[in-house]
């Protein structure tokens, strides 16, 4: 018998070679943040929620498996997903540990749901997720009556949900939509009103989706820009019909590729246009990118647009620190645009990148340095000096970070010697059809 020593295809290395102009039209995959929430709220509703355009990446599949373990009936028929819920308060104790894979969003939001249900549950994840801080959610959820045991503030996590959950008013100490949503999701099974105060706006998908299921939630903003989000608890949620918009965070890779590869022009369809998420588009326009948008229909409470982008000379800028929450996931790919821009681009207030799927601040710097781009960093800032020709030729070990993996491949498209990654598997967490879509546009991606 002969045993192959080759790695499985999904774990094989991948190289991006310099390419000519990119052309074509794509619809990026469904938004990951909305896909997680659609499954979870479907689980907490009465009736069957129908979802079209759900992201079928590994992160969302982990959420689906966890919700099934808690009693939801979830099935896929063609391109549609159907979630028959158990209602708020109707969760059943899972028989095994809930494995949240690589997803911080799934893990923290699920922790919020479980915190106000009288169950004992255990959550775990992959090595990357086990390195991410959980105290930012366990601290406020403990105030609501739940008990937790963590491993030095990280996974594995034991949750003992509250038998008599307590509504709270919580002022966010960190800019985090995950913390906000965890508290609100816990508040669904609390009496009275649960409120969250945020001084800086974060992505507001939870506030926009809850009314689609019949929840009573209000958002009030003061003159300083702070928001008070108030949710009435013990409501009965009802199933919804949802069409998930395309993910702007996934669209960002094609946007930057078209912005920097000479002669390119591409169209991206039905991309979510949410002001708490579209910082990457604003920033590319300020750098000189040739972008036009056409409004399309509303999906899941979100406006969508078609985006046409054509290559144009880019100039380095200072990215406003207050814009970081609206593009926190896009800094690795924005760094690729900065590497091609004339002059210096400066990112500030980006310490949150250090606690993502990897230390994205250092990993992004390493990616650029390996390609031959001049980079300087501090605890919460980065400066990139662009250059007309990037030598490339380097190999990046992405450490399981999907955004570093995809950013490296886009960088390879404009490097003289290309760029390579050692393992493509992380891409499956958020963008399972990344390789064929980029190849359709004209990127040259080859196994290595």
Q: Which residues are marked as active site?
A: 329
**Are 214 and 237 spatial neighbours (Cβ–Cβ below 8 Å)?**
yes
3-class SS letters over the chain: CCCCCCCCHHHCCEEEECCCCCEEEECCCECHHHHHHHHHHHHCEECEEEEECCCCCHHHHHHHHHHHHCCCEEEEECCEEEEECCCCCCCCCCCCCEECCCCHHHHHHHHHHHHCCCCEEEEECCHHHHCCCCHHHHHHHHHCCCEEEEECCEEEEEEECCCCCCCCEEECCCCCHHHHHHHHHHHCCCCCEEEEEECCCCCCHHHHHHHHHCCCEEEEECCCCCEEEEEECCCCEECCEEECCECHHHHHHHHHHHHHCCCCEEEEEEEECCCCCCHHHHHHHHHCCEEEEEECCCECCECEEEEEEECCCCECCECCHHHHHHCCCCHHHHHHHHHHCECEEEEECCHHHHHCCCCHHHHHHHHHHHHCCEEEECCCEEEEECCCCECCCCEECCCCCHHHHHHHHHHHCCECCCEEECCCHHHHHCCCCHHHHHHHHCCEEEEC
Measure the CA–CA gap between 99 and 30, rounded to whole angstroms: 22
Distances (CA, A) of 30 to 62, 205, 240, 322: 16, 14, 17, 27
Angle between helices 248-260 and 279-287 in degrees, nearest 10: 10
Q: What angle do CA 276, 200, 305 make, to 5 degrees?
A: 10
Measure the CA–CA gap between 261 and 311, rounded to whole angstroms: 6
Specify the DSSP class assigned to residue 30: B
What are the structure tokens assigned to 217, written together?
């939630």
Measure the CA–CA gap between 414 and 339, rounded to whole angstroms: 10
């Amino acid at each position: 018998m002969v045993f192959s020593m080759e790695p499985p295809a999904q774990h094989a290395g991948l190289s991006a070679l310099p390419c000519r102009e990119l052309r074509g039209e794509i619809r990026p995959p469904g938004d990951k943040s909305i896909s997680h929430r659609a499954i979870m709220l479907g689980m907490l509703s009465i009736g069957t929620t129908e979802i079209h355009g759900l992201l079928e990446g590994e992160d969302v599949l982990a959420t689906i498996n966890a919700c099934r373990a808690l009693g939801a009936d979830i099935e896929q028929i063609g391109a549609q997903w159907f979630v028959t819920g158990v209602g708020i308060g109707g969760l059943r104790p899972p028989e095994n540990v809930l494995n949240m894979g690589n997803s911080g969003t799934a893990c923290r939001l699920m922790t919020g749901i479980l915190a106000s249900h009288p169950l004992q549950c255990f959550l775990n994840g992959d090595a990357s997720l086990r390195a991410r801080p959980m105290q930012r959610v366990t601290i406020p959820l403990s105030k609501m009556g739940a008990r937790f045991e963590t491993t030095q503030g990280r996974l594995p996590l034991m949750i003992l949900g509250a038998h008599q959950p307590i509504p709270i008013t919580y002022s966010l100490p960190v800019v985090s939509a995950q913390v906000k949503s965890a508290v609100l999701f816990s508040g669904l099974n609390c009496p009275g009103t649960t409120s969250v105060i945020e001084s800086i706006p974060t992505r507001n998908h939870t506030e926009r989706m809850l009314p689609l299921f019949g929840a009573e939630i209000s958002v009030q903003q003061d003159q300083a820009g702070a928001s008070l989000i108030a949710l009435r608890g013990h409501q009965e949620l009802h199933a919804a019909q949802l069409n998930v918009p395309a993910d702007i965070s996934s669209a960002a890779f094609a946007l930057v590729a078209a912005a920097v590869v000479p002669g390119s022009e591409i169209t991206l369809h039905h991309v979510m246009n949410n002001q708490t998420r579209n910082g990457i588009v604003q920033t590319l326009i300020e750098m000189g990118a040739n972008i036009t948008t056409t409004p399309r229909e509303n999906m899941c409470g979100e406006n969508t647009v078609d985006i046409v982008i054509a290559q144009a000379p880019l100039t380095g800028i200072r990215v406003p620190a207050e814009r970081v929450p609206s593009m926190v996931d896009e800094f690795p790919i924005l760094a690729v645009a900065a590497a091609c821009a004339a002059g210096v681009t400066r990112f500030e207030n980006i310490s949150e990148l250090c606690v993502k799927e990897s230390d994205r601040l250092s990993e992004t710097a390493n990616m650029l340095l390996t390609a031959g781009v001049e980079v300087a960093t501090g605890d919460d800032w980065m400066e990139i000096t662009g250059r007309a020709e990037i030598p490339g030729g380097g190999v990046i070990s992405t450490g399981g970070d999907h955004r570093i993996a995809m950013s490296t491949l886009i960088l390879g498209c404009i490097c003289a010697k290309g760029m390579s990654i050692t393992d493509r598997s992380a891409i499956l967490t958020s963008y399972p059809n990344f390789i064929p879509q980029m190849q359709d546009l004209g990127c040259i991606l080859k196994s290595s």
